[in-house]
Amino acid sequence: MNQLKTKAAAGILFLAAALNAFAQPTYPQAPKPKPKPSASATASPSASPSASASPDASPSPKLPTGPLKMITTDSVNPNKKSPIKFTEINFYDSGYGSKYNAEMRLSGAVLNSSKTDTLKKVTVKYQVVDTAGQVVQEWKESAGDLKPGSTYRINPGVARNTLGTMLKGKMVVDHEEVPPKDGAPKDGAK
């Protein structure tokens, strides 16, 4: 028994020595420097070099600051402010809405009909809705940026009509508002 206690004490001392020898050293951390304010943030508007360089220089146009407003449009009620066009919405229910657990084949495509504007932060959703317009199932894909004239296709593939009722396909697209061009009329004014 005495020999067991001696071995246990030796093991504990060996473990303590090993931890002390191989432990990672803790070095003091230097404080991180604070970021310096930029020259443009501290300069007053009247002291800007472009305004004082020439007497007839006009100030730069004010661009919207912060996040842009998101626009939502869908295939049932398209938003007139959005250049998105729904070119294809395929919905085929093999049970024609009367067969429980029938196979449904789904796909769709949207087009950026704008000639010059790239749509940013585009999200495309394919929704299966019932006759009351309630969403039964939804697939969502992030399309990223949609260039002018380009098409994005969503293909959820095969799903099941687990309700056994009449269903329809619907598409919804969210994207950032396109900022107005300099000199362009605002809010439809001509």
**Rg of the chain (C-alpha set):** 32
Q: Answer whether 139's CB lies under 8 Å from 126's CB.
A: yes
- The reported pTM is 0.59
Q: Answer whether 178's CB lies under 8 Å from 117's CB.
A: yes
Provide the 8-state DSSP code for 168: E
- For the chain, the domains span 70-176
Residue found under tokens 């951390």: 29
Which fold is adopted by the domain 70-176? Immunoglobulin-like (2.60.40)
User: Each residue's pLDDT tens digit in the chain (190 positions)?
Assistant: 788 888 888 888 777 776 666 665 555 666 666 666 655 555 544 444 444 444 455 555 555 566 778 889 999 999 998 999 999 999 998 888 788 888 889 999 999 999 998 999 999 999 999 988 899 999 999 998 999 999 999 998 888 888 888 999 999 999 998 877 765 555 544 4
